[in-house]
Structure 1
């Protein structure tokens, strides 16, 4: 029998929440072969990356501009005023390909693939386990009629997906493939993409896809991103072979637009209410607790977690993820304990905090 931890006001958990503060320290990360390096690793390092974390068993750049030079707020300004490039190879691509690809994907996500994911479109989706807990919240790319890529957040989707189909019920192959993305985010991103690829990039709809080339190498380009700014993701095929011919080319083409190499901006994604797996939710959270109930289609056919999710919706939840604003004038007060400032007043507010209708990323290009 598993033991549970009870925290005042929260539901019981099997595995306790990690409440230890990470903070800053003089600890160093050992670079080893146990954690993989992305195809962009050496070039992001040359661009000045000085802090890393690990994500999907890869080193993930987390800071370029030193604190004394403006730090993450300076990176934020590059993102929101100009254009930025991010090494996001940690978004590993899990390919599902074969005659039953659509049926398999429909069985493992909570949205209806057949109705909502046409070919050459991407969608934000969630994968749940049999208890209704969230396993991952990837962007799903349908790159062909019989081929899908899960561009995953930080959990082992490959092992889970292969396990789901270990009996061979679905006629598909499931593998991690050598495709690595960079994100091009910011108000000048469309100008940079147009220069590199052509004017047709302006016709890509929000969450749309195209197959094209960058500096002569095959890529898939999506109008998506982790910033809620106008942005694109460039998925380089055979990335381990050709990264050295694509990253420098993007930097060269981006000079006139003040292109900057930065880390994925958690400041901007928090403003936008974009969730981060492992930080805002994990496998013991269900979609209704973290503002993802709109993802749950209880009218479509059977899928993993459907029965549990139906029960959770009927019973209701004990806790919900909300947005809090601290400081200033407040109306609906709650109390929040901060690591250094103790207990402070906070106001529950609508999320996203900035651009709640997502007009910025959806703007007509």
Structure 2
């Protein structure tokens, strides 16, 4: 363990239940996500990446706040939030969803979890969807309660995560399928465990249901995982870009629609369901989009760090889009990026130019995800 550093946080930015533990275990930098500090630096991000794909990392993602929906009309209201068809969603199932506004813009891309017939969580990326949902409920005519529960997730991700979970919960946890959840106890610690995560690797999310146990839970997991190579870490920009996983506010926002992102499969326009933005999305589908998300390979020396601003993309001197997430992948030995570009420039093999901090560089549109496109690693038993 490293020497604990002091951070001066105001009370308006919340600390997670794992905050003190992450400091003890070497957290060196934080950013703000959903009005909460989230660890972003445990040392070398490349080492963090290799640990993730070779053994396992434990990440404090308590900032992924939950919107909880309960009440007799919970299922109808959950459907109102998302264009994904939830009619066949079972109790104990998770689904990746989009939340759209009246114009068809993406407000969030949460994981929906169904804990009961009339009990849902939407596990949020960074935006104030709790307020959106509470406002939507007021005039919905539906009998629901919308609140933020005392729930704080951790992510245990990497190929050894399954064995660590068995050490903690017994062999039976190995039966938990991809995108399924289970309510469990770790002695006195109440949890919901799901086979999900933001890494494109085999992984689990452990949703702590009582913040008082945060420190104990962190230490229990680290102790169980130590013999298997578990390290404290942070969500890996390298791995999530390899997997073409969205980062909200970077790769999508309320001015981006699902069709631009190639997420047509998450928009059930022809199903007999009602959701916010349905008419707008029908119009967008009929008219077509003018830009699309594309994967890029950037031909330049290895990028020193992920981008912290949007990088202009040009073709023959004309701006045609922007790189939204860019990073050097040491596994692929390539600079890779997600980008939004005009549809005529999104075809595979198209050549473009990207303005990086070191100047303009040639780029080519390539297939995405950049690695393991069928998610075999994440879905592995």
TM-score (norm 1): 0.87
Equivalent residue in structure 2 for 1:83, among 56, 74, 89: 56
Looking at structure 1, the residues matched to 133 and 33 of structure 2 have their Cα atoms a distance apart, in angstroms, of: 18
Q: For the residues of structure 1 that align with 2:251 and 2:53, how far apart are their CA atoms?
A: 23
Q: Distance in 2 between matches of 1:46 and 1:338?
A: 39
Cα distance, 1:332 vs. partner? 2.1
Compute the displacement of 1:265 (Å). Answer: 0.7
Counterpart check, 1:269 vs 2:240: yes
Task: State the Cα distance separating 1:29 from its structure 2 match.
Answer: 7.9
Matches within 5 A, 1:139-218: 139-167=111-139, 169-218=141-190
* Conservation of the 8 A alpha-carbon contact between 1:140 and 1:148: yes
- Residue 351 of structure 1: CA displacement? 0.8
Partner of 1:252: 223
Q: Which of residues 39, 48, 58 in structure 2 aligns to 1:61?
A: 39
Query: Match of 1:105?
Result: 78
Q: Which residue of 1 aligns with 2:344?
A: none
Match of 1:338 in 2: 355
- Residue 114 of structure 1: aligned partner: 87
Cα distance per residue 1:238-290 (max 9 Å; x no partner): 12x11122111111111111110001111100000111101111111000111
Alpha-carbon deviations, 1:28-82, whole Å to 9, x = none? 98511111111111111111111111110001111111xxxxx100011110111
- 1:322 deviates by 0.4
- Provide the rounded CA distance (Å) in 2 between the counterparts of 1:320 and 1:282: 14
Deviates further, 38-47 or 130-139: 38-47
Deviation larger for 84-93 or 41-50: 41-50
Residue in 2 that maps onto 1:221 = 193
Q: Which secondary structure does the structure 1 equivalent of 2:360 belong to? A: strand
With normalisation by structure 2, the TM-score equals 0.84
| 1:267-323 C-alpha deviation (Å, 9 max, x unpaired) | 100000111101111111000111212110002222100000000011011111100
Instruction: Say whether 1:48 aligns with 2:26.
Output: yes
SS at match of 1:361: helix
SS of residue in 2 equivalent to 1:320? strand
Task: Tell me the number of residue pairs that the alignment of Structure 1 and Structure 2 aligns.
Answer: 329
**Distance across 2 between alignment mates of 1:306 and 1:120:** 27
Task: Give the match for residue 20 of structure 1.
Answer: none
Task: Select the residue among 249, 264, 267 that pairs with 1:293.
Answer: 264
Residue by residue, what CA displacement relative to the aligned partner does 1:75-113 show, whole Å, maximum 9, x if unpaired?
111101111100000100110011110000111111111
Q: Distance in 2 between matches of 1:210 and 1:198?
A: 14
User: Could you tell me how far 1:334 is from its partner in structure 2?
Assistant: 2.3
The runs of 5 or more residues in structure 1 that have no matched partner are 1-27, 66-70
On the 8 A contact 1:333/1:345 being kept in 2, the answer is no
Q: What SS does the aligned partner of 1:277 have?
A: coil
Q: CA separation in 2, counterparts of 1:236 and 1:222? A: 12
Cα displacement string for residues 134-172 of structure 1 (whole angstroms, at most 9, x for unaligned residues): 011000000111100010000001100000011361111
Q: Contact (CA 8 Å) 1:84, 1:184: kept in 2 or not?
A: yes
1:242 corresponds, among 207, 213, 216, to 213
Output the aligned Cα RMSD: 1.6
**4+ residue stretches of structure 1 with deviation over 3 A?**
none
- Quick one: distance in 1 between partners of 2:372 and 2:282? 31
Q: Distance in 1 between matches of 2:98 and 2:87?
A: 16
Aligned to 2:365: 348
The answer to whether the 8 A contact 1:215-1:245 is kept is: no
1:200 Cα offset (Å): 1.4
Equivalence for 1:6? none
Q: Confirm or deny that 1:128 pairs with 2:106.
A: no
2:9 corresponds in structure 1 to 31
